[in-house]
Chains A and B, each alone.
Chain A
Amino acid sequence: MKKITLLLIFFSLILISNPEEYEASNHLQSLIDSMEEGAVLKLGNKTYEGNIVINKRLTIIGSKHTVIKGDGTSNVISIKAPGVKLRHLTVIHGGMNRNTAEEYAAIKIHTNHNVIEHVKIRDSYHGIYLSQAHHNTIQYNDIKGMGKGKIAAQGNGLHIYYANNNLLAHNKIEGTRDGMFFDYANRNKSYDNHISHTRYGLHYMYSDENIFKRNIFTMNQGGAAIMNSNRLKLKDNQFLINYGNQSFGLLLLQANENNIENNMFYLNQRGLYIDQSTKNIIKNNKIIENEIGIELWASSNEQIFTLNKIYENTIPAALIGGKGESNAWSKDGKGNDWGTFFPLTDLDQNGIGDFPITYYSSLHQLLEKQELTNLFLKSHAITIYEKINAALNDNEVMFKDPHPLVQRKRNHSFILVAVLSLLAVILIKGRHPYALHLERMEGKHKR
């Protein structure tokens, strides 16, 4: 009887240990090793144990439920040969240890001309790490970090380190430290990525001549932070609801000669936050309903702001830390559209206001000296505060736009008109029975 029981326990242990998966893990690495250069490996709907190293040009294509699970000690997939293609995989459980010489990732690429697409990444320190890897294509990937509360204890969605000329497109990144982090990485292209709930949606450090277009950054602590990076092109991006005590849509810090065009900055704490930066061109952007439209520190010079629509921000622009007089608020006779903030006339109908506008404010002093001021930016008291300081001549010039654009007709007071109409209708209707009552009374008296 004892022997039978022991046998049963032995077989149960074998069953619990899931020998199929174990075999699969060895099988995957040995499969990869056994494949010929340029071969295509199709994986089934099951979990393969990592970690794996790809040392030859291969294409690995997964199925709907193909998972490659790391052992939690290192990179789950290391690509050490050029021309590798990975498609339709889920990669999980990378090494999270930060006390090592190397920062781990779900997929670490050390070579050039690889393609990673339709890969889902979870439970890893970095998502995809490009280390001195060039001309790679990283697209349609879905990377999710550990989210709020653990932002600092994890890595970035895409980490681009000394890597040039890569294409990063259509990726969806959520809850990582930085969505895309570029460190000494030049001439990369980032198109159509959606990044939310990160620290900085996009973070450039010492990275020049990169292009990012049509990306959407929502609900990050900072939309995009460009630091010590020059000659970047930012076009058609959306920076939405990057809203918090330190938040911004776009930060330019020691960033020069960047071209910022056709972007939308909506509902951010600060739309643009520019510090120690020079010669940036900010053109044709929509900067709408932010607490501060543009926060410009006086250490920043020679920016050009032209053809921007700067509407309905609590403060359209704040100049902090000095005068910053060398910034231009118009170019080639075309300034910016400030909405209804400044009443303008355009008698010659050329779309340019008949006189220059100057914005005075006293809030910059408070903003500079007391960070709690940010908590009042939604308060209506700000208006009174500004008016009183204006009366006391305590205001300073924030900017002068010599050629403000005249706002095209917008349905701005629609809400007010609608509410007033409703009030009128209800009052008239409400008065009706009373009027009837009076008429009846009059009738009675007549009789």
Chain B
Amino acid sequence: MNSENNIPIKKDPWEDLKTFTNARIALGSTGNAIPLDEVLQFRFAHAKAKDAIESELNIDSIKEEIESWGFSVWEVKSQVSHRDEYLQRPDLGRKLDEISEKELQESPQEFDLVFVIADGLSANAINKNAIPLLKELLPKLEGYKIGFVLAKMARVALSDPIGILLKAKFVAMCIGERPGLSSPESMGIYTTYAPQLGLTDERRNCISNIHSNGLNSKEGTALLFYLIRQSFDKKISGVDIKINLKDLLED
């Protein structure tokens, strides 16, 4: 972009302060306005975030990968029928549609641990971050009976009916978080011990901010593994399990 060549931009002589923050400081100005280069960069970041919301799960490749580890994978959907409805009706995103419910009901098995891989507000976040984390985690989980579910148009609480129908002791849902301008591909993981319908947030634990500039898959794995062990030890999840992020990550 060479938009500044002919019209000089008033620079801010405190660009060195940018070393302390990723906030958009020292942008300079033209008149009272933000210089065009900065405006376009902002628009680009916003476009990326918007596109992330519209993105879809790479069902085939995620499924193929998990099946190659020797597991079968269910595919389910909430009662939401399109993206627009997803954004307006969080209540429908928490309920399974009829076909999905039936399929899970027919499962003969019971599970210790079910991983739900869900689009949420950024399927791109899941396409990027879910498989690397699961790959890291699975070798630590020998002895657990594990199931996998891919869920479309899902809100966090959709993990409850899924867990109930698969008779899971524990559900971990990997879900795309609301994209920010600086983190359009951020994955969160919500864990629930003994899922039931109507659970509220304080009964879950959450690991947030898994993305290229946030927690990496190794850190995410360490946290999730800690939560799994705590939940199975204490037979609970939620506010009564304290995670001390710093201590855990320094270990």
Q: Do A and B come from one complex?
A: no
On A, residues with C-beta under 8 Å from B are: none
